[in-house]
Amino acid sequence: LEAVKAWGAAVLAEPWPRFRSVLPWVSSRAPPPHTAKAYFGNGFSRLVDVLPAGGGGGWFRGHHSETLGSSICEGARVRLDPALIAMSRGGEPLEQVMGRAEEEELPKYEPGALQVEGPAAGRTAPLVDAGFLNDYVPTGGIGMHTMKALLESARVVPPHLLLQWVEEPTLLVTRFEYANLFHTITDWYSAYVSSRVTNLPNRPNVIFVDGHCKAQLEETWEALFSSVTYAKNFSGPVCFRHAILSPLGYETALFKGLSESFSCEGASAESLREKTDYEKTSRLSEFGEMIVASFDLLQDDIMSSKKSNGLNVLFVRREDYLAHPRHSGKVESRLSNEQEVYDAIDKWAQGLKCKVNVVNGLFAHMTMKEQLRAILEASVVIGAHGAGLTHLVSATPDTKVLEIISSMYRRPHFALISHWKSLEYHAINLPGSFARITDAISELRKILEGLGC
């Protein structure tokens, strides 16, 4: 109880930042299924009442997306009991938990781990049945669907005396590949969409229903949302006036786009305000602006500096760092002569008549704000296939992309993100992992010529 009181007292809901690309999320007209707008926007158009409001208790419902095959669930008067969740505590320094198995960090629920207050005269009973879970929270090829398991554990219980409530809306989130930027951005996006679909007036709190240790990317969770904590950090049950279960990152369009084919092209919010086009989206740009605004980086200032300080070519590097308890600290090379390519481009750029600044993007040793500023200031982003390129979601609309792709990593992640943001994208497909310097410089020269250099 004291832990809940202390956390609740420290939490003040922060307003959503203001940025250009935001469009209304709640509309009387749902987008057609399997369109760009349904994939990236509010395709969660089927409302399923599980526990209707009234009778002196809480309520619970799901917003289902036929397109994504997932649901955002929310409820009032919800109780989470960490004692009925088997997992590690979470939030520890990485150095203290080296060697810990992933299985220890992922939640396993006992019945009643999640509870929703029902009518006063009611009895304890399962919140949802197998039919609801199969129809609205299908596993969909996910080996361990933790949100489905949490709902399976949920019980409707009679009202009982609870002395302390978390008053502000709170997202319950389970992460898997929490140290990888691409997968974490899918989690951020899912949490953002969940907040918008449920029409939250302010940024919600986040509770990690997992036992992962503290990672570098947690800094951005804290910037995006009002507060962040771990379920196991509470010594007893936590009670919420309003709780939202965020779908897994694997269920977002960002991830599903890797295996599902759908028509989607990036467009500006201004153009979509003037004319609705279900095959275009500005949502990824909106989300990128949300990240930028959360770190107080004003794009107007960035754009003016881009025009006055020459052209920045940001080379996103892959470097060794310790990511998680099962990691050796060594990253797998996707470009075997990366340093040679970087050095050659840097030397070549110094001989150009126009001013070109080659920026060494050592992201693993930069703060998130420094990484975002580097992306925003870049006229060209170049790099081997790797999670650092996921920062393209925050790139400005005039940014050009050059991806160097080894034969072992021909994956569409960053070509798709570029397309969904309407960024000009170029690729050099290697026969192995070694890049010819002349090829890299030739492709970069063409891009810079297009920028007037």
Residue-wise pLDDT tens digits, 181-196 = 999 999 999 999 999 9
Is 284 a domain residue? no
Is 440 a domain residue? yes
Is 271 a domain residue? no
Give me the chain's average pLDDT, please.
Answer: 91
Q: Does 305 lie in the same domain as 199? A: no
Q: Give the integer Cα–Cα distance in Å for 382 and 395.
A: 13
CATH code, domain with 323: 3.40.50.2300
- On the question of pLDDT at 401 being above 90, the answer is yes
- Residue 287: C-alpha distances to residues 24, 36, 167, 188, 211 (Å): 13, 15, 26, 9, 27
Is 277 a domain residue? no
- On the question of pLDDT at 406 being above 90, the answer is yes
Q: Does 412 lie in the same domain as 316? A: yes
Strands of 104-250, DSSP E: 108-109, 114-117, 125-126, 155-157, 170-173, 205-208, 227-230, 238-245
Q: Does 361 lie in the same domain as 305? A: yes
- Asked if 417 contacts 390 with a C-beta cutoff of 8 angstroms, the reply is yes
C-beta neighbour count of 254 within 10 angstroms: 27
SS3 74: strand
- Asked if 77 contacts 119 with a C-beta cutoff of 8 angstroms, the reply is no
Beta-bridged to residue 109, according to DSSP, are: 85
- On the question of pLDDT at 374 being above 70, the answer is yes
Is 288 a domain residue? no
SS3 306: helix
- Model pTM above 0.75: yes
The last residue of a domain, from among 257, 282, 316: 257
Percent with pLDDT over 90 in the chain:
79
- On the question of pLDDT at 211 being above 90, the answer is yes
Q: Does 238 lie in the same domain as 371? A: no
Tokens describing residue 422: 């309407």
Q: Does 248 lie in the same domain as 307? A: no
Q: Which region among 202-211, 304-313, 411-420 has the lowest average model confidence (pLDDT)?
A: 304-313
Beta-bridged to residue 387, according to DSSP, are: none
Q: Does 314 lie in the same domain as 235? A: no
The parent domain of residue 239 ranges over 1-16+23-257
Read off the pLDDT of residues 414-440 as tens digits, 9 standing for 90 and up.
Answer: 999 999 999 999 999 999 999 999 999
Kindly state the average pLDDT of the residues 297-321. 77
Domain count, the chain: 2
- Asked if 173 contacts 212 with a C-beta cutoff of 8 angstroms, the reply is no
Q: Does 97 lie in the same domain as 39? A: yes
Is 280 a domain residue? no
